[in-house]
Structure 1
Amino acid sequence: MSVQPPSDIVLDVARAADPARYQAAVTKLTQGAPGTFADALGTASGNRTGFAVAPQPSADSVLTRFRTAATLPSPRTKGTPAQQFEAFVLQTFVESMLPQGASAVYGKGNAGAIWKSMLAEQLGAQLAKAGGIGIARMIEASHPDTRAPAPASRIPAV
């Protein structure tokens, strides 16, 4: 009894292709990287018209973006506790309304369940942000001491 692993599809296609083009591609890959990916893509496409090649950012601009992202302030809170509670309730409602047997949409197993939960979380948050169904208003009306103070009340009188 022997084990035969599945073949490498890319390698099989490369072997079945024109040997001269295959050898040229191997030579280009082993010679070293071209100036940019866009240069290599333009060369590979034969500079055909209608083939858009996006310019690649420089290493300095990429590093600047990483530094900027690392120094940005933390995101603001997602609203008052009552609004967060309403978003959670709406998330639960939405998740129960989403189709159960839609593995083609969400995927199978644990990953599918996570994607479905993330979708329900975002939908619930957007519904609550758009005004919700009134849960947050009722909670804030029944517990006025837990509401966030208005911005004008924080400014000291002179």
Structure 2
Amino acid sequence: MSVQPPSDIVLDVARAADPARYQAAATKLTQGSPATFTDALGEAVAARAGIPAMAQPSADTVLTRFRTAATQAAPKPKGTPAQQFEAFILQSFVESMLPQGAAAVFGKGNAGAIWRSMLAEQLGGQLAKAGGIGIARMIDKAHPGTGEPAPTTRTKA
């Protein structure tokens, strides 16, 4: 009993389509330099109707962008501490409401748990940003930011 592997379908189709064109393409690919490929790619992209060709940044440009981003200051926290607290509370509420057995939506294992947590964090932040449920307002009212104690019903003697 002998095993006969199937032929290379792509190679067979290329040979059957137009042998002269196949040979010309193979010769171009083996003799071309990377610059020739880049030029050919640019021409092919430019030939597409209605879609402008975009120049690709060089490796030095990309590295410079990464270095610049790494040296910038960290983003400032969004909202007051009371709003951040409300966002955290809402995140906990939302995370407990998200379905537990939804591996098709969030993924399986640790990655799914992280994705689910990130979704809850973003939803909680957006809910707090939109006005929340009043926790931040109550905290701000009880602890005004002016440094004065919160008003009480007691009078000083």
State the partner residue of 2:150: none
Instruction: Choose 1 or 2 for highest CA Rg.
Output: 2
1:95/1:46 CA distance change after superposition, 3 Å: closer
Structure 2 residue 118 is the aligned partner of structure 1 residue 118: yes
Runs of 5+ consecutive residues of structure 1 not aligned to the other structure:
1-11, 150-158
Structure 2 residue 52 is the aligned partner of structure 1 residue 33: no
The runs of at least 4 consecutive aligned structure 1 residues that moved more than 4 Å come to: 12-17, 19-27, 29-32, 45-48
Letter in 2 for 1:132: G
Letter in 1 for 2:35: P
Aligned-pair CA distance for 1:120: 0.8
Letter in 2 for 1:109: G
- Residue correspondences, number: 134
Aligned-pair CA distance for 1:57: 1.7
Identity percentage of aligned residues: 61
Aligned pairs for 1:87-98 (under 5 A) are 87-98=87-98
Aligned-pair CA distance for 1:30: 8.9
Runs of 5+ consecutive residues of structure 2 not aligned to the other structure:
1-7, 148-157
Structure 2 residue 19 is the aligned partner of structure 1 residue 18: no
Aligned-pair CA distance for 1:116: 1.0
In the alignment, the residues of structure 2 paired with residue 69 and residue 141 of structure 1 have an alpha-carbon distance, to the nearest angstrom, of 38
Contact 1:36-1:56 within 8 A present in 2 as well: no
